[in-house]
Amino acid sequence: MHSECDCQGPRLIAQREFVCALVAIGEKLRGLATKDLKVSALYAELSLLNLNLPARVFLPIFPIPFKHHVVRIPHTVAAVLNSKDKAPYLIYVEVLESASPDSSPNPSKRLDSTSLRQTRSEESLPTFCRSRSSSVKFNVNGDSDEDIWSGVVEEHTTENGPKSDETDSVYIAAGDVRKRLSQQLTAPRKTRFNKDPDDPSASVLKEPFAEKEARIKANSPYGHLPNWRLLSVIVKVGDDLRQELLAYQLLRQFQTLWAEEKVPLWLKPYAVVVTSNESGFIEPIVDAVSLHQIKKHSQMSLLNYFIKEYGDVNSEEFLSAQENFVQSCAAYCLICYILQVKDRHNGNILLDAEGHIIHIDFGFILSSSPGSNFGFESSPFKLTHEFVEVMGGVDSDMYNFFKILMLRGFLVARKNMDKCLELAEIMQTGSQLPCFVRGSSTVRAMRERFHLNLTEEQLSELIDRMVETSMNSITTKIYDGYQYFTNGIL
């Protein structure tokens, strides 16, 4: 079937250039020495990229949440993420939802905010100036996107213009004021992170996405449009993300299996798009910060942070967050054991606003591990005493529930082992990825970790031993210490 292109130009060329431009920014950031320089360069490069927007391009994350056009990238809310040698960066992208991106008209460029008047044509400009004089004061030195787009218009009335007092009054009911004040007083007060030159992404990631979206929308020249949306993406250069993509596919498989069997284990697979053997795009996990950032900026233990975020240990919000923590911790412990996920320092483990923990960065799985496969992280998975403390301690019901969830999840995974192994076998054939450095023995070792020879009672005993071993692992403590002294990760 032949399809006609109505855009009057070669299709997908703009999209390719958009992707190349984002990757090129990551390449430039890699060569800079300090985070301050990287942040400044990121702001400058995104400002230049904005000169070519809006355009008939879309954000390269699949599955695409909805068809859209990219109209603007607010550069002052972008962030350079923590990485010792690389410079992955996070951007928020304003888009306009479109039913048919290939044929719908490209949105026109807007340089005015909702508080500024539309620019007059050159022909009518002298007449307009004679009838009305306006002075616009801009603040171009602010740090926030709100400062940059804010403007104050001072209008002077002439004989042909409207009087300054002829404006519509806005009335707000007293009941609405009381309702808003009540909501502010009763709402839980979440911890905010201050801006840190050594960790510029912490304050950006800690801000709730809904608040960030509302703030950007209010100060965007496109925010008044009904089809305006805000998306985000992480651009990563210098790493082969095909291994991350394999991890995403495996996590999705486990997530589906547990959901079908009604096992309340919680995972958050994030989408990955590979653009080359050293670049790609990653779906960000919103409303989540790393355990390292929590410990650094709050100066608290994990349990005390939970109490500050969610209230007293007997409050409904705390108990809900604790249950979320247990369900996600059990799921990722199984994933880390079956897939042999390594490099589990606190910079690679996130905590979201609902209390779930989320593991990221699957650069070391199956046969590969840090330090030229030295195999230093010998524990089955990462389970610290702080994690158990959040659960209520080793004598608590939630701790026992955690081990029950692990057993139930393990039984379901074992029953559907072939569905998980198929993905690894397909990727292993002819692969040069580090996770398959041991060849066919990699998949064979993964098969053995399902322990088909054990009865359910023996499997329960195995889980008890793995939990105990992981919780008291000396290598986990030493590896965390090594990460602190070499990379400053708490």
Q: What is the CATH number of the domain that holds 312?
A: 1.10.1070.11
Are residue 297 and residue 376 in the same domain, yes or no?
yes
SS3 442: helix
Q: What is the pTM of this model?
A: 0.79
Looking at the structure, do residues 52 and 10 belong to the same domain, yes or no?
A: yes
308 and 444 housed in the same domain: yes
Instruction: Please report, as a single letter, which amino acid is at residue 87.
Output: A
**pLDDT at residue 33 in the model:** 83
- Whether 448 and 367 map to the same domain: the answer is yes
Residues 323 and 231 in one domain: no
Supply the DSSP string of 232-279, one letter for each residue.
Answer: EEEEEESS-THHHHHHHHHHHHHHHHHHHTT---------EEEEETTE
**What is the distance between the alpha carbons of residues 113 and 136, in angstroms, rounded to a whole number?**
12
The per-residue pLDDT for 11 is 66
What pLDDT was estimated at residue 4? 53
What gap in Å lies between CA 271 and CA 281, rounded to an integer? 8
Is 261 found in the same domain as 230? Answer: no
Q: Are residues 414 and 369 in the same domain?
A: yes
Angle at 229 (CA atoms; ends 49, 149), nearest 5 degrees:
55
Strand-pairing partners, residue 273, are: 281
- Asked whether residue 340 is domain-assigned, the answer is yes
Do 361 and 213 belong to one domain? Answer: no
| Structure token digits, residue 447 | 């098969």
- Average pLDDT of the chain to the nearest whole number: 81
- The stretch 129-156 carries a mean pLDDT of 40
CB contact at 8 A, 94 and 216: yes
**Mean pLDDT of the region 17-35:** 90
Same domain (yes/no): 441, 324 = yes
pLDDT, tens digit, 9 for 90 and up, residues 40-91: 999 999 999 999 888 888 888 877 778 888 999 999 999 888 776 678 999 9
Q: Tell me whether residue 353 is in a domain.
A: yes
The parent domain of residue 223 ranges over 1-101+199-238
Half-sphere exposure of 403 toward its Cβ, with a 13 Å CA cutoff?
21
Residues 218 and 343 in one domain: no
**In this structure, is residue 16 part of a structural domain?**
yes
- Residues 294 and 213 reside in one and the same domain: no
For residue 306 the two structure tokens come to: 């939970």
Mean pLDDT, range 396-401, rounded to an integer: 96
Number of domains observed in the structure of the chain: 2
The enclosing H or E element of 96 equals strand 89-97
CB burial readout 34-59, b (16+ within 10 A) else e:
ebeebbebbeebbeebeeebbbbbbb
Is pLDDT larger for residue 172 or for residue 396?
396
Examine the domain organization and report whether 215 and 343 are in the same domain: no
Establish if 341 belongs to a structural domain.
yes
Query: pLDDT for 320-356, tens place per residue?
Result: 999 999 999 999 999 999 999 998 889 899 999 999 9
**pLDDT at 145 exceeding the cut of 70:** no
List beta partners, residue 154.
135
